[in-house]
Amino acid sequence: MSISFRLDGKVALVTGASRGLGAGIAEALKEAGAIVVGTSRDPESANRVAKRLQSLPVVMDVTDIPSVRAGVDRTASEFGRLDILVNNAGVNIPQGVFDVDEQSWDSVMDTNLKGAFFAAQAAARHMVDCGESGRIINIASQAGVVGIEERSAYGASKGGMVALTRVLAIELAQHQITVNAVAPTFVATELTRSTLEDPTWRQRVLSRIPLGNVGEVEDVAAATVYLASSAAALVTGHTLLVDGGWTAW
C-alpha cells in the first residue's frame, strides 16, 4: 500500500494568506505540489502573495459575501477547477466579558464564522461541478473546544466553526467532499506576539500545555497538508487539535 501526502495537480485556495498561519499553510500546500491561490483584503498584499506563490492575485474580504464568491469563482475559472479550500482568515479581539461591544462581536463572528461558511458554500459548488473529491479545511482553534478567558466572541466563533465542520461534512459526503478543521493552541506569529511577550500571559499559556511549548506555524501547516491529501480520504467531520495536549487535561 502506498500512502502519499502529495498534492500534485490540485488547486487550492487559502483565505488570509498574506502572513502568519495563512502564509505558512499556503507555502506548505505549494511545497506538496498544489497550485495555490492566497487571498488578502489589500490589493498590494494580494499581489505580493501571488508573486510569492507564483499564482493568481485574489483580493477578498471574507466579511463581504459578494467578494468571497467572486474570489472563489475567479480561482475556479482561472484554473478550471478547485480542489482544496482552506478557511484561514480570522480575527481575534480579546476582551473581558464586560468590555465586549457589539461592533467587536460582529467583526469576529462575520470574519471567523460567516465568511468561512459562505466561502465553503461557494467552493463546494465548484467541487461538485468538477465531479471529483474535494477538501475543505477550516482553521478553528482550541478556543472552540475549551474556554479561554477574554475570548468570548472568538471562542463562540470557533466553536461555531467546529459545529459547522460537522454539518458540512455530513451534507457534502455524498459528493465525496471531506470537511475537517484544524484547531491549534497559541501559535507564535506576529498576531500573537503581544500576548506571548506578556510574561504573565505566556506563563499562563505554557502552564496549560503538557508538552511545554507554544505551537509553530509549521505544526498547523503540516496538519492542513495531511487533511488535504489522499492520506486523509476517510477523515471527515473531524477537528484535529494541534495543541500540545492543552485539551487533554
Catalytic residue among 24, 89, 109, 154: 154
- In the residue annotation, 154 being an active-site residue is answered as yes
Q: Are 95 and 154 in contact (CB under 8 A)?
A: no
Report, as residue numbers or ranges, the catalytic residues: 154
